[in-house]
Structure 1
Amino acid sequence: MRSKRLFTIRFRFYSKLLGALTLLLGSLAPLSNAYAEVKLAKLFSDSMVIQRGQPFNLWGTAAAGEGIKVVFNGRSYSAQANGQGRWLVTLPAQSASTGQTIEIHASNSLALSDVAFGDVFLAGGQSNMEYKLDQVISRFPEEKTLDHYPDVRHFDVARHYDFSGPQSDINGGQWAKAGKDTVGRFSAVGWFFAKDLSERVGVPIGVISSNVGATPIESWMSLEALQAFPEAQAMAYKLSNETSRMALRAEYAQQRKSWLRKNPNQKLPWLIKHSTSLDFKPTGFYNAMIAPLQPMKFAGVIWYQGEGNTKDPKGYSDKFRGLIGLWREYFAQPKLPFMFVQLANFQKPDMQPAESRWAELRAQQAEVFSTVDYTSMALAIDVGERHDIHPKDKKTVGERLALGARHWVYGEPGVDYVSPMVSDARASGARVVINFDYIGEGLTVRGDRLSGFAIAGEDEKYVWAKASLQDNEVTVWSDSVRKPKHVRYAWATNPEGANLYSISGLPAVPFSVEIERY
C-alpha cells in the first residue's frame, strides 16, 4: 500500500516536471525562431536615404551560419552570418535616385521600399541641434504650410547610453520624409541645413540626428579617444564596470536625498540633477548612439555643441580635435567634412569688459577650425537670445552650416563660407591697426558706428574702445590707454552690439590677441 502511494506521488511529481519542461521549451521556441529570423539593423527602414557615390553596406542579424541573399536592381549579393549571428553585405556605389527597393532573403524575407540615394549627413551635439522645428515654429510658421517640400528625409536616433563598450545596434528610430505632418519633428537646424542644400543640388538629403541635450563633448568620445584626458577616461573605466556603476548610481542618489533634506519643499536644481546623472558621463552616448552607425557612410557631419563644456573650457579644442579624428577613423572617412556651430550669444550683456568662459570656448572652437582640415565654423553670436539658451533662429544657423557643405562637399566655386578672422594686430602709437583674413568682397559695419572692441595695456585692464573701418582695416583706440598691448572683439558671453561683418553677411569671429609693435 505504501509503495503504491509512493509510486503515485512520484508519478505526479514527474508529470508536473515534464509539463513544466514542455512549457519552458515551448516558451523558448519562439525566442529561438525570432533570433533565427533575418533582421536589418534598426537604421534601415522604408524611405531611408543611402549615401550615393560610395559602395554601401547593409547589415543585421540572423542565425549563426545562415546564408543571406540581397536583391537590388536585378542583381543578387550574398553573405553568411558569422558565429555571433552578424552579417554584412556591400553593394556597389549608386548615383542619386529615388523609389528604389531592396530585398533581403533567407529563412524569411524583408524588403525596403522607397529607398533614396543621395547625401547623408550626421547631425550631432546637444540640445540646440536636438531642438525640433515644432519648438521654433512660432518664428517660422511657413515651414508647416509649404506648397512643395524638397526631398529631405530625417532619422532621429533614439536616446540611449551604454558604458560597457560600443554597441552593435541603436535602440530605435524611424525614417520620415519631409511634409506638413512630419517636418515639425525634424531637428530644426538639420531641416534648414538640408532644405537649403536640397534646393541647390537637387538630390535627396538625409539627416541622421543623433544628439542629446546638455551633453559635454566627452559623452560622444570613445574610451580610447579619452586617453589624453585622464580624469574623463578614469570615469569611463569606472562606469564600464557594472559593480562600480551601481555604486556610483547609489552615491548620486544619496547626494540628491541629502540636498533635498537640507532644502525641504524645494525643487532639485538642474545643475545637481545633471551632475548626479549617469547620462552625461564620458563615452555613454558614443557607445550607444554613434558607434552602432558604423559602417554607414556620410557626406559630412554637422555639429552644434559646446554649452555643456563652458564650465571648464580649457582643453576643449584638444577634445574636439580628438572627436573629429575618432569619428573620421571610425567611419573610415579621413576627409569627412565637419561643419560646426560656434556658440551663440547668451545672457545679459556686460556693462564693462569682463572675462567669459563662453568667449574662451568660442576661441577654442575657432582654434579647431584653424588647425583641422575639412572643417567649417558657422557663427551664431548675432542670432542668440539673452534669456534663452535655445535661440529660435535656427534658420540662419542651418544655412550658415550649409555654406561649409557647399564648399567641402559640393565644391561650389567662390562660396564665401568662412567668417572674417583676425590675422594680425599692430600698434602704431596709441592706436591699433587690425587686419583680417577671409574677408571675401570686403568688410562692412552694420549700424552707425563700429562697436564690440575692448583694449588694454600691460596691466590687462580692459576698457571699451573706439573703432573705425577703412579699406578693410580696423583701427582701435581709447584715450585712457596710451600704450595698448591687448585687444579683444566680441569677447563676452553675450557680445551684443558687435557689428563687424563681411559684405556677404557673415559676422567676424570673436578674438583676443596680444598686439605687435611697429
Structure 2
Amino acid sequence: MPGLTGKNVMGALTLLTACAAAPAAAASDPAGRPVFARVFSDHAVLQRDRPITVWGSADPAQQLSVTLGNSTVALRADKTGHWRTRLPAMAAGGPYTLTVSGAGGTTTLADIKLGDVYLCGGQSNMEFPARLSTGSWNGIVAAPNDDMRFLTIAHDSEPAPLDDLKHPAAWQIVAPDTVGDASAVCYYMARSLQKTEKVPIGFIHSSWGGTTIQSWIGAASLRSYKPFEQGVAAVSLMASNPAEAMAREGQKREAWWDAHDPDAAAQRAWIAPGYDDSAWSSMVPAGSWKEAGIPALADFDGVAWFRTTVTLTEAQAKAANRLALGPIDTYDTAWVNGVRVGSGSIAWVWRDYEVPAGAFRAGPNVIVLRVLSGGQGGGLTGQPKVRGIGTADGQFIPIASPWRYKMGMRARGLSIASSPWAVPTSLTTLYNGMIAPLAGYGFKLAAWYQGEANADKAAEYRTLLPLLMRDWRKNFAQPYLPFLVVQLTSYGAVAASPGKSDWAALREAQAQSVAADPHAGLVVTIDVGDRTDIHPSQKAVVGERLARAARAVAYGEPVTPGGPEAVGVVRSGNDLVVRFKNINGGLRTYSANVAIGFEACIADRCSYVPGTIQSDSVVLGGANRPEVTRVRYAWADAPFVNLYSADDLPAAPFELPVPQGS
C-alpha cells in the first residue's frame, strides 16, 4: 500500500484518534525548577547566525534567567507557567552549556553546538531508517561524527496545536549505534553538507508513514482551502468538545448507512450491550473472513457485525482508556458498551481507539464492530494477540473470547470517508502534534519527502504543497525558509504504451509548485526507484541530491540544484525540439543513441517518439504534426529513462504544451 513504513509492514503503525484538547507545555518539575521545552536537550544543535529562541515552563510568574555561552537574558514566566525568550545570534561553534535558572533551581543542558539545523518531514520514505538503506554497512560504520546530531520526533496526532512535544525527545550524536534508526535520507543529506560546510549540523526528523499532506498543514492555513473547511472545523470541535465532535461524526456515519443499507435502522439494535447474540455464529478472527475456512464467508463482500465480551475488574475498568483491534478491512465502526469510540477507513491501518472515561465498567464489557469490506478479504485481518484493552497504567488486557458474527447486506464498491481527525488522512493533526511544537527553533532549510498518499489527487496537491510551504514559513517566522522537495520516484505498473498515470501527474504537481517558488528546489529520483517496492533503498543517492539542491537553494553556491529540466518545446520543420536547462556540461543518453520515454500527444492520445540529442536540446524527429498539442517525458508510474546530464543527473519528468503555428 502507498506510504507504508517498515514499521507498518511489521504491524506497528496505529490509528490514533485524538479525543482531548491540546495540553499546555510541560510543567516545571516537582521541585519547582524551570525546564526547557522537550525539543531542547543535551547535544542539541542550534541555528547559527540568527537570534536564538528558547522556551519552556516554570512556576507561574517566576523570575528567570537564561544563559548560553556568554549571553544571559532575564525574563519572567507568564501566569500559565510558559516562558520564551531570545538570545543573541552566535557563530558556529561550541560546545556550550544552556541553562535556565529560577527560585526553584537550575536546569542545565550540556554539549550544545551552534551550526545549521535541517527539518525533514513527510511520509514513509523520509521515515525509512538508515540501517535498511543500500550501502548502510559502510555508511553507518563510518558514522561517528561529533559535529552531527539528530532528533527524531515521536508520532503524535493532536486536534489542536501543542506548545511542547507530548513525548520525551533527546538529541543524539551520530554514531554507529545511534544513526541506524535515523531517517536515512535526512542523514545522508546532512552528512554530505557537513563535509562541505564544515560546521556542526543537526537534523530534526518529523514524519509518519502513509500520511497525506493535509495532515501536516496548520488549521488556519488549511481551512482556507474550501474542500477542507468543514473538516478542519470538525477537528477544532474535537479539541474543544470531544463528545460533541464524536456525536456529530456518528450522526454523519449513521446517515450514510441509512442511505446505503435498507437494514441499517433495524440492525442498530445489535449495538446495545444487552442484545441477545446467542444465535449468531462464532469465530476467532486470525485473518480476513474470506480466509477463515467458513463457506458462507469465502466469497462474501459486504457488511458483517462482530460482538465479543471482556470482563474487567473495578481497577481495570477505571484505568481502561483504549481499544486496540489491529488492522480491519476496510470500513469499521466500534462501540464499547453502546458508546461509539471510533471509525476507520483504511485496511492496512491498525485501529487503536481512545475510549472516553466511563465507557468501560467493572464486569462484562460488550465490544461491537460493524465492518464493511472493501472488496478484498474483509474483517479483522490481524492476529488475535494484537487485540485488547489498554489502560492508563500501561496494562494490555487481551480480548480472549471468540467473536460472534452475523452477516448483513452484500455490497461491493461502497466506501466511507475517514473521520477528519483519523490518521493517516487526518486534517492538520500531525502539524499540531509534530510541527507546531518546533515553532521558533530556527532552521537552515526544510526537506519534504511525501506524495505517495496523495498520488490520486494531483490537482489538489498543486494547491496543498505551496500551502504547506507558506504555512511552515509563517509559523516558523522564516518567510524565506528554503524548501527542498523530493519528487516521487518510480513505482508500480510498467507502461507498455502511453497512458494515464497518477504518479506522473503528482510529479508534475510537485515540479510546478517548486518552479513557482523562488526559495524551493526539486530533487528528481525517477531513476532510483523500485517498481515492485514503494520504499526503494537507494537513500544515499537521494540524500546526496538533496545536499546538492541545498547548496544551490539554501547556501547560494554557484551550482545547479539538479539535472536537466525542460524549459520549452518549439516546432522545427518536421520535428519538435525540446530545450533543456541545467544540462551541467551537456546531455547524454545511456545504453542507446536515442533518448527514450518521450511522447507526442494529440488530445488524449499519446505516442512514443525517440529523441536525439542536439546541444542543449532533444529533437523528436517527425513529431511535428499540426494536431500535436503536448510533449511528455517519463509519463508513467514506473518509466524507464536514459536521459542524463554530463554529471550523471537524470532529466526531470515533464509535460509541456506545444505552441501552435510553425
TM over 0.5: yes
| The one of 346, 351, 357 aligned to 2:502 | 357
| The one of 372, 377, 400 aligned to 2:522 | 377
| Unaligned 5+ runs, structure 2 | 1-26, 254-330, 334-342, 345-369, 383-413
| The one of 452, 465, 487 aligned to 2:609 | 465
Aligned partners of 1:297 and 1:69: how far apart in 2?
A: 21
**Match of residue 167 from structure 1:** 162
**Match of residue 363 from structure 2:** none
The secondary structure found in structure 1 opposite 2:90 is: coil
**1:26-425 to 2 correspondences below 5 Å:** 34=30, 36-106=32-102, 107-136=104-133, 139-146=135-142, 148-149=144-145, 151-163=147-159, 165-171=160-166, 172-241=168-237, 242-247=242-247, 248=249, 253-254=332-333, 257-259=370-372, 267=381, 275=418, 278-280=422-424, 281-413=426-558, 415-425=559-569
Aligned partners of 2:28 and 2:144: how far apart in 1?
A: 47
Could you say if the C-alpha distance between residues 99 and 275 of structure 1 is closer, same or farther in structure 2, counting changes exceeding 3 Å? same
* Alpha-carbon distance, 1:464 to partner: 1.5
* Alpha-carbon distance, 1:386 to partner: 0.7
Aligned partners of 1:142 and 1:273: how far apart in 2?
A: 47
Match of 2:441, as an amino acid? Answer: M
Higher relative contact order (CA 8 A, sep 6+): 2
Could you tell me whether the CA contact under 8 Å between 1:457 and 1:481 is conserved in 2? no
Aligned partners of 2:143 and 2:121: how far apart in 1?
A: 30
* Alpha-carbon distance, 1:305 to partner: 0.8
Could you tell me whether the CA contact under 8 Å between 2:143 and 2:179 is conserved in 1? no
The secondary structure found in structure 2 opposite 1:381 is: coil
The secondary structure found in structure 1 opposite 2:592 is: coil
Could you tell me whether the CA contact under 8 Å between 2:576 and 2:622 is conserved in 1? no
Q: Between Structure 1 and Structure 2, which shows a larger proportion of helix residues?
A: 1
Match of 1:169, as an amino acid? Answer: D
* Alpha-carbon distance, 1:32 to partner: 9.3
Could you say if the C-alpha distance between residues 479 and 376 of structure 1 is closer, same or farther in structure 2, counting changes exceeding 3 Å? closer
| Aligned-pair identity (%) | 32
Aligned partners of 1:115 and 1:33: how far apart in 2?
A: 22
Dislocated runs of 4+, deviation >6 Å:
271-274, 479-482
**Match of residue 286 from structure 2:** none
* Alpha-carbon distance, 1:149 to partner: 3.1
Deviations 1:269-292 (A, max 9, x none): xx9999567123110001111111
**Match of residue 494 from structure 1:** 638
Could you say if the C-alpha distance between residues 457 and 511 of structure 1 is closer, same or farther in structure 2, counting changes exceeding 3 Å? closer
Size of the alignment, in residue pairs?
A: 482
The secondary structure found in structure 1 opposite 2:89 is: coil
Match of 1:205, as an amino acid? Answer: I
Match of 2:114, as an amino acid? Answer: F
Deviations 1:12-60 (A, max 9, x none): xxxxxxxxxxxxxxxxxxx997284312100010000000111101210
TM-score, length basis structure 2: 0.69
Deviations 1:226-264 (A, max 9, x none): 234222221121122223543448956426632269956
Could you say if the C-alpha distance between residues 240 and 431 of structure 1 is closer, same or farther in structure 2, counting changes exceeding 3 Å? same
Could you say if the C-alpha distance between residues 212 and 244 of structure 1 is closer, same or farther in structure 2, counting changes exceeding 3 Å? farther
Aligned partners of 1:79 and 1:104: how far apart in 2?
A: 10
The secondary structure found in structure 1 opposite 2:372 is: helix
* Alpha-carbon distance, 1:159 to partner: 0.7
Could you say if the C-alpha distance between residues 75 and 511 of structure 1 is closer, same or farther in structure 2, counting changes exceeding 3 Å? closer
The secondary structure found in structure 2 opposite 1:314 is: helix
Match of 1:209, as an amino acid? Answer: H
Aligned partners of 2:601 and 2:441: how far apart in 1?
A: 53
Aligned partners of 1:307 and 1:266: how far apart in 2?
A: 25
Aligned partners of 2:596 and 2:37: how far apart in 1?
A: 51
Could you say if the C-alpha distance between residues 442 and 109 of structure 1 is closer, same or farther in structure 2, counting changes exceeding 3 Å? same
Could you tell me whether the CA contact under 8 Å between 2:577 and 2:618 is conserved in 1? yes
Could you tell me whether the CA contact under 8 Å between 1:460 and 1:486 is conserved in 2? no
Aligned partners of 2:461 and 2:652: how far apart in 1?
A: 18
Aligned partners of 1:32 and 1:202: how far apart in 2?
A: 37
* Alpha-carbon distance, 1:357 to partner: 0.8
Could you say if the C-alpha distance between residues 456 and 147 of structure 1 is closer, same or farther in structure 2, counting changes exceeding 3 Å? closer
| Residue 610 of structure 2 is aligned to residue 451 of structure 1 | no
* Alpha-carbon distance, 1:184 to partner: 0.3
Match of 2:126, as an amino acid? Answer: M
Aligned partners of 1:51 and 1:131: how far apart in 2?
A: 25
Q: CA RMSD in A?
A: 2.6
Greater shift, 85-94 or 67-76, is seen at 67-76
**Match of residue 511 from structure 1:** 654
Deviations 1:320-373 (A, max 9, x none): 111111111111111111111010010131111111111111111111121111
The secondary structure found in structure 2 opposite 1:110 is: strand
**Match of residue 410 from structure 2:** none
| Unaligned 5+ runs, structure 1 | 1-30
Aligned partners of 2:433 and 2:78: how far apart in 1?
A: 22
Could you tell me whether the CA contact under 8 Å between 1:35 and 1:62 is conserved in 2? no
The secondary structure found in structure 2 opposite 1:462 is: strand
**Match of residue 5 from structure 1:** none
The secondary structure found in structure 2 opposite 1:151 is: strand
Could you tell me whether the CA contact under 8 Å between 2:145 and 2:174 is conserved in 1? yes
Aligned partners of 2:600 and 2:28: how far apart in 1?
A: 73
Greater shift, 425-434 or 463-472, is seen at 425-434
Aligned partners of 1:349 and 1:439: how far apart in 2?
A: 27
Match of 2:579, as an amino acid? Answer: N
